[in-house]
Amino acid sequence: MVLGNPQCFESIPAAELFALAVKHQVDLALRLAPDDAAACSEALQHGSVRVVNSEDEDQLLGCVRDLLSMKASAHSLQIAHERLEELEQRYRTLLDASSEATAYLHEGLHVYANPAYLELVGAPDLAAIATLSLIDLASSDACDLKKLLRDLGAGEIPEQPVPVVVQPRSGGQFEAVLSFSIARFDGEECIQTVVRQEDAQSHLKQEVARLRRTDPLTRLSNRTHFVAMLDERLQEQAESEGETAVLFVEPSDPGTLQRKLGISSFDRLIAILAEIAREVTEPEDLAARFSDHGISILAQRENRKALQDLGERIAAAFADRAGANAGAEAEPGCQVGAAIVGPQTRNAEEAISQARSACASVTESETGFAFWKPSEVEEENQEEEARWSEKIRFALNSNELFSIQQSIVNLEGESEGMFENRTFMRDDGNNVPVEAFLQHAERVDLGAAIDRHVIPGLLDSIAGSGDLHLISVSANSILDFSFSNWFKRQLEELGVQASQVILQFDARAAAANIKPCARLVEELRAEGVTFSLSSFDDQRHHAEVLKQVDIAWVKLRAGLAPGIAGNTAHQAIVRDVVRVAEQQQAEVIADDVRDAADLAVLWQCGVRRVSGEFLKESPQVVGQ
């Protein structure tokens, strides 16, 4: 800043002074007395000037302070402008050097195109296509390009690349896809357009990707791809009809067979096994060479019988073809193991390990096929909880759970149908009742999985019947906040009247979780569902549940009814239960009544609902 007074114009003309200030970008300030209007007028005739009262030093300091702040701001702005120009130059350089064909469109016309784009469309420079739009350079059967341009102008960008056929200005045509995004170019709102040619290079990349997941000998998928696809299937956990399994196939005693035949001949047998796998599998199946000796298959069929048929077909076909190729020195056989894959399968490694274990177990099998199931040898080396967990998870995956519907009779002669549904698990030919494994299931949080596996089938079987059905619910489901909404959806989807359903809780579980139990009852009672407590006796905390939760039925603890005619202690317990239940307007059900004598005593004790062997009926099986 140059500070002067009116006398400075005597030594240098005002016009020359202002010219020098403009040339060197210097601010001028003139100190004047408040009454010196003539000097101020002379200065303002030649340009802008700051006027400072010569009698006010604070005004002078403020003027200097303002000028310094303005200079600092101007300096910062200049630096920012230089950096912006540098970034724009770098960005333009990157665009020009990019191998991706990129252009910017403004109002449908080209305002910029990098060299890769110009080369692709056969234009020598931007001027050759500046007046052209996409319609002049490409056509598409997949969409209306005119409408696309209108949508782009309105800011509507397609989510997926648009397939087109590009007609370069130099002649010919090729297939490509266009990708769009909103951008600014030279201060204008534009559409960035990227053209990717569908050429031999793309097909080469696809072929390389295919080779990476393919076994060279068998032309099946390789182990890495199979494991990845199986893990993906398990993570999706999508509900689907039918059964899904991993099958593992290998020649019997492969080590000995390879020594007899030699590597080349043995490889031919593996190739035959792969050819059979391709023939018998469906397009949705995935077959892979999992090891030097074995083939793995991920297959889905309508039921387990169909999966078994698939495995047995593979074994039979291999026996027919391999014998002719192996010669007289060997009679190769084939063994196939399968493991059911379901929501309880932890990962791909577990499913494959189970399938291989099943495969190893069928050495002496006539059919050459077996499903995996927990073996007693494995169980001896596991803790009890782990053994039960393995059995339950296997049963859930393999649909080894089923229910039996047992009638409950009203001794007062009312004809309404009432049934209890009891769940069982198949285990090595035995039917294990739910009471034997439910506590183990609840300790490893599988109780809710059992409920959600069994309940839909039960509801489907009672839809439209008008009968009342007791359906047991685990402690895990009592604590599950999502259970009530899930149950409501099941009722709606399966067309079951809520008034048909009596959800039954174990009295001990309800007493231990009384607040969650009350919450669940409150949420479902409004729909019309009623509730029951099982395993009920004269314990005080059982009676407390009745006082705090709206319960319509109580079922006596197992063991109270059989032989009650000669057991006065049990008679006292039952009378006490009936008294407590009547106080809360609940009815009592006695289970496992075996003869008329017990029935008569129960009637005297006040029990009006009974079930048991004395009915001599054939229970209905659900989910068998």
pLDDT digit string, tens, across residues 562-597:
989 899 999 999 999 999 999 999 999 998 888 889
Cα gap 592→435, rounded to integer Å: 14
Domains and CATH numbers, the chain: 2-92 (no CATH), 98-198 (3.30.450.20), 214-372 (3.30.70.270), 385-622 (3.20.20.450)
Which residue in 218, 199, 391 sits closest to 291, CA to CA? 218
Per-residue pLDDT tens over the stretch 36-64: 777 667 666 666 667 777 777 888 788 88
Per-residue pLDDT tens over the stretch 246-259: 999 988 878 777 77
Neighbours of 87 (CB within 10 A): 10
Evaluate if residue 328 carries a pLDDT over 60. Answer: no
Q: How many CA atoms lie within 13 A of 331 on its CB side?
A: 0
pLDDT number for residue 240: 62
Evaluate if residue 8 carries a pLDDT over 70. Answer: no
pLDDT number for residue 367: 64
Evaluate if residue 381 carries a pLDDT over 50. Answer: no
Please work out, in degrees rounded to the nearest 5, the angle formed at the alpha carbon of residue 143 by the alpha carbons of 138 and 149: 65
Cα gap 262→257, rounded to integer Å: 8
Cα gap 573→601, rounded to integer Å: 13
Candidate from 247-256, 304-313, 362-371 with smallest mean pLDDT:
362-371
- What's this model's pTM, rounded to 2 decimal places? 0.54
Q: Specify the pairing of strand 221-222 against strand 286-289.
A: parallel
Q: How many CA atoms lie within 13 A of 365 on its CB side?
A: 20
Average pLDDT of the residues in 14-25: 73
Average pLDDT of the residues in 300-312: 89
Token pair listed for 372: 């995996």
Token pair listed for 364: 């002496």
- Average predicted confidence (pLDDT) for the chain: 84
Q: Terminal CA-to-CA distance of the chain, rounded, Å?
A: 100
Cα gap 246→296, rounded to integer Å: 7
CB 430, CB 400: distance < 8 Å: no
State the residue for tokens 């390879």: 258
pLDDT number for residue 377: 44
Evaluate if residue 177 carries a pLDDT over 80. Answer: yes
Q: What does the radius of gyration of the chain's CA atoms come to, in whole angstroms?
A: 43
pLDDT number for residue 468: 92
Per-residue pLDDT tens over the stretch 331-350: 677 889 999 888 888 888 88
pLDDT number for residue 458: 92
Average pLDDT of the residues in 399-404: 88
Cα gap 314→249, rounded to integer Å: 8
SS3 content of the chain, % helix, strand, coil (to 5): 50, 25, 30
State the residue for tokens 């101007």: 74
* DSSP string for residues in 428-489: TTEEEEHHHHHHHHHHTT-HHHHHHHHHHHHHHHHTTT--EEEEEE-HHHHT-TTHHHHHHH
- DSSP element (H, E) containing 193: strand 188-197
Cα gap 214→226, rounded to integer Å: 10
CB 257, CB 294: distance < 8 Å: no
Rounded to the nearest 5°, which phi and psi values hold at 379?
Answer: -70, -30
Beta-bridge partner residues of 181:
192
Evaluate if residue 163 carries a pLDDT over 70. Answer: yes
Please work out, in degrees rounded to the nearest 5, the angle formed at the alpha carbon of residue 576 by the alpha carbons of 420 and 408: 15
What percentage of the chain has pLDDT greater than the value 70?
Answer: 88
Token pair listed for 168: 């370069």
CB 573, CB 538: distance < 8 Å: yes
Candidate from 120-129, 263-272, 296-305 with smallest mean pLDDT:
263-272
Confidence of residue 451 (pLDDT cuts 50, 70, 90): very high
| Max mean pLDDT range (27-31, 80-84, 290-294, 477-481) | 477-481
- DSSP element (H, E) containing 376: helix 376-380
Choose between 451 and 322: higher pLDDT. Answer: 451
CB 441, CB 474: distance < 8 Å: yes
Evaluate if residue 127 carries a pLDDT over 50. Answer: yes
> How many residues are there in the chain?
624
